[in-house]
Chain A
Amino acid sequence: SQTIHQWPATLVQPVGSPLSLECTVEGTSNPNLYWYRQAAGRGLQLLFYSVGIGQISSEVPQNLSASRPQDRQFILSSKKLLLSDSGFYLCAWKEVGLLGEQYFGPGTRLTVT
């Protein structure tokens, strides 16, 4: 069966520090991968998605970037965090060819101080 991992689970970082959040998927090949940010009352905002290694699409211009160095690894990064980057970050995957349904990881709670 497929599983999705995210780490760390929680993170407290000062303003201006770098960020690296990691997501890995097991049990599937060549999945579509997604990064979302969840803010209270605002649902899930799609940040980035990837259909393959090295292929990244950005949905919202911002202080963050994403990379996909391996088939089942998706990384969310920032060179300098802002206070507004605080939030709950979710990674998700979808099998290529299946209609729409995405599966979510446990998330990372990021607090920028």
Chain B
Amino acid sequence: AQSVSQHNHHVILSEAASLELGCNYSYGGTVNLFWYVQYPGQHLQLLLKYFSGDPLVKGIKGFEAEFIKSKFSFNLRKPSVQWSDTAEYFCAVNNAGNMLTFGGGTRLMVKP
């Protein structure tokens, strides 16, 4: 069975700091990759996704993620975080079936 690991459970940054959240998965075949975000009191929503093509994908609110197949990784980055980025972030993997496998999530707190 595939698994997804997010090694950073809690991250605290000051505004304007750069962000990188790690995501590694175990499945060796073709995968589709996602980052979801859950802002306090809001729905879980899609931040960005990778299906094929350019391994550097850009999402909403200035986020981007890079798919590195050789490392089984899909790390999320943002050059300069804002207080409004405080949220929980989830990496998810789909191997072209009907199901997503989620990582354990990373809680990001951005200090103003």
Q: CB distance A104 to B43 under 8 Å?
A: yes
Taking CB as reference atom, which chain B residue is nearest A102? B100
Q: Mark interface residues in A76-108 (1 if CB within 8 Å of B CB, else 0).
A: 000000000000001000100001111111110
Q: Does A19 contact B (CB under 8 A)?
A: no
Chain B residue numbers with a CB within 8 Å of A51 are 98
Q: Does B74 contact A (CB under 8 A)?
A: no
Q: How far is the CB of A31 from chain B (nearest CB, A)?
A: 11
Tell me if B's interface is mostly helix, strand, loop or mixed: strand
Interface size class of B (residues with CB under 8 A): 20 to 34
Q: CB distance A99 to B94 under 8 Å?
A: yes
In the docked arrangement, what's the CA distance between A46 and B4, Å? Answer: 13
Chain B residue numbers with a CB within 8 Å of A41 are 9, 104-105
Instruction: From A43, A100, A107, name the one whose CB has the most chain B CB atoms within 10 angstroms.
Output: A100
Q: How far is the CB of A54 from chain B (nearest CB, A)?
A: 16
Q: CB distance A94 to B102 under 8 Å?
A: no
- The answer to whether A43 and B104 touch (CB under 8 A), given A100-B32, A100-B34, is yes
How many inter-chain residue pairs (CB < 8 Å) link A and B? 55
In the docked arrangement, what's the CA distance between A107 and B44, Å? Answer: 9
Interface size on A, residues (CB 8 A): 23
Taking CB as reference atom, which chain A residue is nearest B6? A43
Q: CB distance A44 to B90 under 8 Å?
A: yes
In the docked arrangement, what's the CA distance between A44 and B101, Å? Answer: 8
Taking CB as reference atom, which chain B residue is nearest A51? B98
Q: Mark interface residues in B1-36 (1 if CB within 8 Å of A CB, else 0).
A: 000101001000000000000000000000010101
Query: Contact check: which of B51, B99, B102, B104 meets A99 at CB < 8 Å?
Result: B51
Interface set of B (CB-CB < 8 Å, partner A)? 4, 6, 9, 32, 34, 36, 43-46, 49, 51, 90, 92, 94, 96, 98-105
